Chain A
Amino acid sequence: MGRWIRFFIAVMIGAAAAMFYGWKVNPVRYAETTPDTLRVDFKTDYVLMVAEVYHIEKDPNLAARRLALISTEIPSDVVVKAIKEAEKTPYSSTDLGLMQTWGRL
C-alpha cells in the first residue's frame, strides 16, 4: 500500500513540476496568429481605429474589408459588439460617439 502511495505522490510531483514548467518557466508562445483571435478589447480598439479612418475615408467597402479581418460576422454586428464592449470599459465619450455614429450608417 505504501508503495502505491509513493508512486502516486511521485506522479503528482512530476505533474506539478511539468505544469509549473509549462505555465511559468517556458510557457507557450503564440505566433503567426490572425486578427480574429485577438482579445475582445483589442478587437474593440481595432473597430475604433477603423471608425477613425472611416471618418476621413468615407469608404464603407474598405471599412468592411478591414472589419472582416477580425470577424466573420457582418460589419454592423461587429460594430455593435464593439460598442457594447467599449461601454463597459472607460472609453471616452468621443470614441463612443465615433463608433456609434459609424454604426448607424
Chain B
Amino acid sequence: MIGNRARTGGFLVLWPTRYRDNAPASLSEEYKDSYRALIAMAYYASGDVARARSRLVLLRDADIAAALISQAQRSMMEGRPEAEVRALSLLGLEIASGDNTAPQVTLLPTTTPLTPPTSLPTSTPTNTGVPTPVVAWTPTLANTPDSASLATSQASQDKPATQSGTPTPPTSTFTPPPTFTIAPLPHPHPPLLRASPSTWFKNKSFATRTWNSP
C-alpha cells in the first residue's frame, strides 16, 4: 500500500504531465483576453479583417463580435490603453457587420456635427400678395377663460380670423439633435499583402481541426 503510494507520488514528481501543443481555445480567460486584444491590435495595424477573423475563430467564442465588444467595454472600464479599446471595438463592429469594408464608426460621439444639416425647416411664409394670417390660439394660464371667451376662442380656431394689421409669421426654431460622428478612421498603415488564411499554418485548417487530443 505504501509502496503503491510512493510509486504514484514518484510519477507525479518525477514525471508530471506536461501540457504542450495546445490550441488558443484552451487558454484561460485571462490569456484569451490578451490573445484577443493582440489579434485586434494586429488588425488595427494591418487592416486585414479576414486574417483577424481566422485568428479569432481559434478562440472558439460562441459569438465573436459580442466577445470583442464585451472585452472592449471591460478594457475601457479597467483603464486599458485607448488604442486597445479602439481596436477591439473596431474589430467587433467589423465582424458584426460582416463585410470587409473599412470601419467607419468611431467610438466616441461628438456633439459637433461635421456637416451641416442638409434641410432645415423654414418657417418663412411665402408672400402671395393676399395675406392669409394664421392665428395660433394659445391659452394663458394666468386668466381662466370664461365660457364666452372660450367659445370665441373655439370659433377662432375653427375658421381663420380676419385680423387687421401685418401678420407676423410664427417663428419656430429648429434645434438639430446631437449626432454621432461617422467618420472614416484611417489605418496607420496600408493593408499588407497576405497569404491566404488557410495557408498560414501547416497541416490543415484551424476551423475544422479538433484540439482535444494531446
Contacts and interface: CB of A to CB of B under 8 A. Distances in A.
Chains A and B belong together in one complex: yes
Interface of A: 23, 27-35, 37-42, 44-46, 48-50, 52-53, 55-57, 66, 69, 88-92, 94-95, 98
Interface string B120-144: 0000000000000000000000000
Given A33-B22, A34-B28, A53-B45, A98 B192 contact: yes
Given A52-B45, A98-B192, A35 B21 contact: no
Q: Is the interface of B mostly helix, strand, loop or mixed?
A: loop
A28 B211 CA distance: 10
A41 B201 contact: yes
A91 B24 CA distance: 19
Given A52-B46, A90-B200, A42 B195 contact: no
Given A28-B214, A35-B35, A94-B193, A89 B28 contact: no
B42 A38 contact: no
Q: Is the interface of A mostly helix, strand, loop or mixed?
A: helix
B39 interface: yes
Interface in B1-34: 19-24, 26-28, 31, 34
A38 B22 contact: yes
B22 A89 contact: no
Interface string B88-99: 000000000000
A12 to B, nearest CB: 22
Interface residues of B, number: 37
Contact of B55 (A23, A29, A45, A56): A45
A30 B193 contact: no
Contact of A49 (B19, B21, B27, B38): B38
Nearest to A28: B214
Contact of B23 (A32, A42, A89, A94): A42
Given A34-B28, A35-B27, A88 B202 contact: yes
A89 B212 CA distance: 23
Nearest to A49: B42
